[in-house]
């Protein structure tokens, strides 16, 4: 009832561990799958090792998180070494980032043996020279996707930024360049201030806002993208309950990524949400999760 196939990848359910959340080692990725995730996305990997920003890097709010990690990662060579010899019986999507199309293409070539698919981080809102700074321009999105498609046959997912006046332009650029899917959305640019220290709390000052507070924005982005794209959409943004997940599926998402909810509540959210979706499908008379994807678009 919940099993799906997307981008040629078979998953036991449409729930995916999002990049940047408890994904530091192969064992954590395997645990996410054991705990109910249908697939996983790795941390974002770059050409060179990055320490990321100094603490504080996370602010917990009553309605989500603001984080500015700074894309910490071991670099592609150490990442490849860490995953050498590891076997996975579920899809592993490798997230990559770079400052130019050539960097994305380089990483896709080097990491093909680990990846069942690649997610292109075109949307991180707090790393200078990367992510959102590239991904706000449809021309850049097109060039990055095309460069990666030229070097690999693995499925390509373009992760889009909500920090734009029209996310559909980014989605259409990715589709035109040959992306196999898009994921939306990444975090919203945000800030938190300590009223006693009288300064921004995060070391980087600006961070990315995630969690329940961004769900309506993410849902609208998925809905808008589903109206204009022919390729699948992976919904991300504030999915905390099975009801949230069903909303995204009805809005046109074929699969869903869960991040902040895992950080706040643990791996158990995957089984809870999967069970809730299954109960909903039975109660509403559906035989497969595929049957509800995009139903809200037909009204």
pLDDT tens per residue across span 221-276: 999 999 999 999 999 999 999 999 999 999 999 999 999 999 999 999 999 999 99
The answer to whether 145 and 178 have CB atoms below 8 angstroms apart is yes
Asked: is 4-298 a CATH 3.40.50.720 domain? The reply is no
Distance (Å, whole) CA 247 – CA 130? 31
Phi first, then psi, for residue 245 (nearest 5°) are -60, -45
Distance (Å, whole) CA 158 – CA 170? 9
Give the pLDDT of residue 126.
65
Taken as a whole, the chain contains a residue count of 299
**Catalytically active residues, by annotation:** 124
Query: What are the structure tokens assigned to 58, written together?
Result: 């996370």
Phi first, then psi, for residue 233 (nearest 5°) are -120, 135
Q: Tell how strand 156-159 and strand 181-184 pair up.
A: parallel
Binning pLDDT at 50, 70 and 90, where does residue 128 land? low
Whether 131 has a pLDDT exceeding 70, the answer reads: no
Measured over the CA atoms of residue 279, residue 280, residue 284 and residue 288, the dihedral's sign is negative
The answer to whether 16 and 258 have CB atoms below 8 angstroms apart is yes
Q: Establish whether 186 is an annotated binding residue.
A: yes
Q: Establish whether 69 is an annotated binding residue.
A: yes
Q: Establish whether 68 is an annotated binding residue.
A: yes
Distance (Å, whole) CA 173 – CA 171? 5
Give the pLDDT of residue 24.
76
Binning pLDDT at 50, 70 and 90, where does residue 6 land? very high
Distance (Å, whole) CA 184 – CA 59? 22
Whether 132 has a pLDDT exceeding 90, the answer reads: no
Q: Tell how strand 193-194 and strand 39-45 pair up.
A: unpaired
* CA neighbours closer than 13 Å in the CB half-sphere of residue 43: 26
Give the pLDDT of residue 133.
72
Q: Establish whether 185 is an annotated binding residue.
A: yes
Residues 7-23 have a mean pLDDT of: 93
Give the predicted TM-score (pTM) of the model: 0.96
Binning pLDDT at 50, 70 and 90, where does residue 125 land? low
Q: Which residues is 207 bridged to in the sheet?
A: 190
**Chain centroid offset of residue 51 CA:** 21
In eight-state DSSP terms, residue 73 is B
Query: What are the structure tokens assigned to 248, written together?
Result: 């995204």
């Amino acid at each position: 009832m919940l099993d799906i196939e997307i981008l040629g990848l078979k998953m036991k359910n449409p729930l995916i561990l999002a990049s940047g959340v408890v994904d530091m080692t192969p064992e954590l990725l395997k645990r996410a799958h054991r705990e109910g995730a249908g697939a996983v996305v790795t941390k974002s990997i770059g050409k060179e090792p990055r320490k990321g920003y100094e603490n504080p890097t996370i602010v917990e709010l009553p309605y989500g998180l603001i984080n500015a990690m700074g894309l910490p990662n071991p670099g592609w060579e150490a990442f490849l070494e860490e995953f050498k010899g590891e076997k996975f019986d579920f899809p592993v999507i490798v997230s990559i980032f770079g400052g130019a199309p050539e960097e994305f293409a380089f990483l896709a070539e080097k990491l093909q043996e680990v990846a069942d698919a690649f997610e292109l981080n075109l949307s991180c809102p707090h790393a200078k020279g990367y992510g959102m700074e590239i991904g706000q321009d449809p021309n850049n999105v097109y060039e990055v996707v095309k460069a990666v498609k030229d070097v690999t046959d693995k499925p390509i997912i373009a992760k889009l930024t909500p920090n734009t006046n029209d996310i559909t332009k980014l989605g259409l650029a990715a589709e035109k360049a040959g992306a196999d899917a898009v994921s939306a959305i990444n975090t919203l640019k945000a800030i938190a201030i300590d009223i006693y220290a009288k300064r921004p709390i995060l070391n980087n000052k600006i961070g990315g806002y995630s969690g329940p507070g961004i769900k309506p924005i993410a849902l609208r982005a998925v809905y808008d993208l589903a109206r204009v794209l022919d390729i699948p959409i992976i919904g991300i943004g504030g999915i905390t309950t099975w009801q949230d997940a069903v909303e995204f599926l009805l809005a046109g998402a074929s699969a869903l990524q869960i991040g902040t909810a895992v950080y706040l509540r643990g791996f158990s959210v995957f089984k809870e949400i999967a069970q809730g979706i299954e109960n909903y499908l039975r109660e509403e008379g559906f035989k497969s999760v595929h049957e509800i994807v995009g139903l809200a678009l037909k009204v």
